[in-house]
Amino acid sequence: MAQICKIISLELLTQDVLKLIVEKPENLHFNPGQAVDVSINKPNWKDKIRAFTFTSLPTDNFVEFIIKTYPQHNGVTNELLFLSVGDELIIGDVFGDISYKGNGVFIAGGAGITPFLSILKHLQQQNKIANNILLFANKTKADIILEPFFKNLLKENFVNILSDEKLDNYEHGFINKTMLEKYTASNNIFYLCGPPPMMQAVEGFLIKLNINPENIIKESF
């Protein structure tokens, strides 16, 4: 049953990424990595349902979403930019294919980081961050969501790839087969989430690197 929940806070994390803290629906159950159907409780917006991933933990007494906004779409994410504390969201069904299956390589593009944020926070809570690796693709350094958090959590296992900016200590370009090759020897689980073109490219490289498709856990944004 969908529930109406008030927005507790809104904060811009980057120029176009919004962090929303919202009241927690009653009897909400989700696994880290899962998403939920969300709409805005305003006339003309109630039936425009979009999927967003929980970035809070199941044990938190609020829910958090981190949402990349697309003003040019004139859709739901643009409308979120005009909301204030006390406005309401309608939170519906929980779903999603990504969940933690063991130590591996997380590969995210832009807002595709959200299921991995949830999973990594959950591992941190359990002191099980282990040797997980995060490859995070963005256009520029300014687009990297929560860079200090991931750096602190994963240290040298946090690798940034920037397509539109050249910087020391950051890989440049799109994620390619050579970049992935060095992680295939000791890891056989790959978690993949991002825009469809990036997903297709990365999955193609992983298959060429003889990764079993069953060990590629993915969701397209």
Torsion angle, alpha carbons of 123, 155, 54, 65, to 10: 150
Q: Does 35 bind ligand FAD (CB under 6 A)?
A: yes
Distance CA 170, CA 168 (A): 6
Q: Which is nearer to ligand FAD, 96 or 104 (CB)?
A: 96
CB-based contact 162:172 (threshold 8 Å)? yes
Q: Does 194 bind ligand FAD (CB under 6 A)?
A: no
Q: Does 199 bind ligand FAD (CB under 6 A)?
A: no
Residue 21 has, within 13 A of its CA and on its CB side, a CA count of 9
Among the residue ranges 3-11, 66-74, 153-161, 194-202, the one whose residues contact ligand FAD (CB under 6 A): 66-74
Among the residue ranges 44-52, 86-94, 125-133, 162-170, the one whose residues contact ligand FAD (CB under 6 A): 44-52
CA angle 166, 168, 171 (to 5 degrees): 60
Among the residue ranges 1-9, 73-81, 153-161, 200-208, the one whose residues contact ligand FAD (CB under 6 A): 73-81
Rg (CA), the chain: 17
Q: Which is nearer to ligand FAD, 75 or 177 (CB)?
A: 75
CB nearest ligand FAD: which residue?
Answer: 75
Q: Which amino acid is at 26?
A: E
User: Which of 12, 60, 78, 172 forms a contact with ligand FAD (CB under 6 A)?
Assistant: 78
